[in-house]
């Protein structure tokens, strides 16, 4: 367990780790220190074989209200380029275990972009998700025009990015931006239960599925299907594959070892 604010992470006994953004005084706005701390947390967790699934959370008011505008206001182009803050998100994106974003309150700008790097989004009905950058004279710079468009299509992405107006968690679910919408008070519990379920599954199959979806998403279909088939073949080499199938046939619970 590490307690280095502004990010707090914790390993639980059920194979799940939680990573919490903890800057409530700024609605979890993502300043450089927070981005760096998030990257450090994910670096520590991504190579840990005891961690099978990660849940990324904020608090009841905000998952994250975007990049820290107080750190942006005086910056010029050169300064922004030199910060190279994209490297922190690259660490999060490289995580092999599934990452579930559990979203209550605001997920705006860079906050929504961070959520879109995650693999599954569980949102509260009253959450507010949006790309408001245009309202302060900039534009999304870490996936808001690209991952969003791939998730919801051109017309919803254009609406969100060009008006800057947020949508509710319920609408986010309806347009395909979230995996699941639940009452606000049930977000964390739902995400943790889902994560615990994933943590019990054979980890090599889980991480291979994640990799195939992410690598295939932007490849031509034929290439992606080949990639999928090769990955499928590979899983036949695992002990967990034999154990899973044998346990099914013998009508008992499988005992997956991660081998």
Residues serving a catalytic function are: 67, 110, 113, 133
Listed ranges 40-48, 65-73, 196-204, 212-220: which one lies at the site for ligand DAK (CB under 6 A): 65-73
Tell me the number of residues near ligand DAK by CB under 6 A: 21
CB atoms within 10 A of CB 206: 21
- Measured from the CB atom, is 15 or 169 closer to ligand DAK? 169
Contact 159, 134 (CB under 8 A): no
Under the criterion CB under 6 A, does residue 29 sit at the interface with ligand DAK? yes
Binding to ligand DAK in span 79-98, by CB under 6 A:
85-86
Under the criterion CB under 6 A, does residue 27 sit at the interface with ligand DAK? yes
Q: Which residues of 166-178 are buried (b: 16+ CB within 10 A; e: fewer)?
A: bbbbebbbebebb
Of the candidates 100, 138, 131, the residue with the CA atom closest to the CA atom of residue 117: 100
Under the criterion CB under 6 A, does residue 106 sit at the interface with ligand DAK? yes
Under the criterion CB under 6 A, does residue 48 sit at the interface with ligand DAK? no
Listed ranges 133-141, 151-159, 197-205, 223-231: which one lies at the site for ligand DAK (CB under 6 A): 133-141
Q: Compute the least distance from the CB of residue 22 to ligand DAK, in Å.
A: 14
Listed ranges 134-142, 177-185, 186-194, 195-203: which one lies at the site for ligand DAK (CB under 6 A): 134-142
Sheet holding 16-21, edge to edge: 7-11, 16-21, 53-57, 99-103, 120-124, 180-182
Q: Which residues of 118-157 are buried (b: 16+ CB within 10 A; e: fewer)?
A: bbbbbbbbebbbbbbbeeeeeebebbbbebbbebbeeebb
Under the criterion CB under 6 A, does residue 117 sit at the interface with ligand DAK? no
The site for ligand DAK (CB under 6 A) is made up of 26-27, 29, 65-70, 85-86, 106, 108-110, 113, 132-133, 136, 141-142
């Amino acid at each position: 367990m590490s307690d280095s604010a502004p990010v707090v992470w914790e390993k639980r006994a059920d194979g799940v780790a939680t990573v919490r953004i903890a800057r409530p005084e700024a609605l979890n706005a993502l300043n450089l220190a927070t981005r760096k701390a998030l990257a450090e947390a994910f670096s520590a967790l991504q190579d840990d074989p005891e961690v099978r699934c990660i849940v990324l959370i904020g608090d009841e008011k905000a998952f994250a209200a975007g990049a820290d505008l107080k750190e942006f206001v005086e910056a010029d182009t050169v300064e922004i380029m030199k910060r190279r803050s994209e490297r922190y998100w690259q660490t999060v994106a490289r995580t092999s275990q599934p990452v579930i974003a559990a979203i209550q309150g605001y997920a705006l700008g860079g906050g929504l972009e961070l959520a879109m790097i995650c693999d599954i989004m569980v949102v509260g009905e009253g959450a507010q998700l949006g790309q408001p950058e245009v309202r302060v004279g900039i534009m999304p710079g870490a996936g808001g025009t690209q991952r969003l468009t791939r998730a919801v299509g051109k017309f919803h992405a254009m609406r969100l990015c060009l008006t800057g107006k947020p949508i509710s968690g319920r609408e986010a679910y309806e347009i395909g931006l979230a995996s699941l919408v639940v009452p606000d008070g049930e977000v964390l519990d739902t995400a943790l239960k889902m994560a615990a379920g994933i943590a019990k599954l054979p980890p090599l199959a889980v991480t291979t599925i994640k990799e195939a979806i992410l690598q295939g998403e932007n490849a031509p279909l034929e290439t992606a299907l080949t990639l999928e088939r090769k990955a499928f073949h590979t899983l036949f080499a695992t002990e967990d594959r034999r154990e899973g199938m044998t346990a099914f046939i013998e009508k008992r619970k499988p005992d997956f070892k991660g081998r």
